[in-house]
Amino acid sequence: MKIIHTADVHLGSPMTGVANPAIRRVELVQSLQNIAAYADNNGAAAIIVAGDLFDDRFATSQTVHSVADIVAHSRAQWFVLKGNHGGSEPYALLGQLCPQIKFFGDDWRYYPLGNVVVCGRELGADDEAQWKNFHPDPTAYNIAVLHGDVDDPAYGFIDKAALSVGVNYVALGHRHTFAQHKFGKVRACYSGVPEPRGFDEGDSGGFVEIDTDADTVRYVPQSIRRIVHKRVDVTPIVSGVGLRDALADAIADVSTANYLDLAFVGELQEGLPLELTAKQVLEHKFFALRVKDETHPRLDLAAIGNEVSLRGEFVSAAMDIEDEELRNDVLKMGLAALGGEELL
């Protein structure tokens, strides 16, 4: 039997920091529809959503109705855990629209599906006591569905020892990048997000496909947009023209439909208009953009520190900062300001 495991879709997310939030919200719904289509095309019997299908209070009635349409046209059985986002209203409405969905509650629930049992509960208060009531079926292939952090009980305690006995696979939600874990001999996976929303998530989206007959688990990449990382070494660059050319070369193969995460690295020539040039070349050209300045000044700081000048006094004081990253930031901004540059 094939089963799809996804989580952290966050439908209705405000999507700040992207070129068109409304389009991206529609694409998040499309990503769920794509997963449902994959399940049907590949004969998957079930789709598990391990939490955070909706994003806090932002999920509208229209969004919930869209999910209901996807479920209604899907041949798979759906299992939905609420997680720690979304509140109760969107799930209550979804339950009314799709009574065939199997939800989980504060107590353990066990749903048979052929020779498979899908079990789970919403993590929360009194979690450690609840684990004493966990009794997987010893004759079945057991899939446990949970939403929380395996290393941090702040979102609910996950008892790895209890899961290591009698469970075949743990479908996890909460972490937004795909990751595999082992609880004893038991496999556990965070499916990651089906579609990245921000730069703090995986470079692309996807989901997990479980084959209970073959006892295999594999990650299936599938996303409409992805995050592309680029680094530009400014060490050999001595002019604004050279900087623009280097930026143009770096982004030549990046689709404007994607997220661009660009970092400047190396030694920065004093007076090189880094931020201004980046703004001129990159702004409004990608669906989302993040620019990081990880350079350090290319200066004879010892000589400048010995100058009898305001600049010399500033450099001499800044060199006493022990934290290297902070020191470099202070030197860049301070020397730029003393040089009359506009600080963006």
3-state class (DSSP) for residue 143 = strand
> Which pLDDT band, with edges at 50, 70 and 90, does 202 fall under?
confident
- Strand pairing class (2-6; 141-147): unpaired
Residues listed for the chain: 344
Burial class (CB in 10 A: 0-12, 13-18, 19+), 203: middle
Give 218-245 pLDDT, tens digit per residue.
999 999 999 999 999 999 999 999 999 9
Residue range 169-176: average pLDDT? 97
Architecture of domain 2-221: 4-Layer Sandwich (3.60)
More confident residue, 142 or 127: 142
Q: What is the location of CATH 3.60.21.10 in the chain? A: 2-221
Q: Specify whether the CB–CB gap between 180 and 216 falls below 8 A.
A: no
Give 47-89 pLDDT, tens digit per residue.
999 999 999 778 999 999 999 999 999 999 999 999 986 578 9
Tokens of 30: 């499309």
Question: What distance in Å separates the CA atoms of residue 274 and residue 12, rounded to the nearest whole number?
Answer: 36
For residue 150, report the phi and psi dihedrals to the nearest 5 degrees. -65, -15
Which of 12, 86, 3, 8 lies closest to 51 in space, CA to CA?
Answer: 8
For residue 252, report the phi and psi dihedrals to the nearest 5 degrees. -60, -35
Greatest Cα pair distance, the chain, in angstroms, is 83
Question: What distance in Å separates the CA atoms of residue 216 and residue 5, rounded to the nearest whole number?
Answer: 13
pTM for the whole structure: 0.86
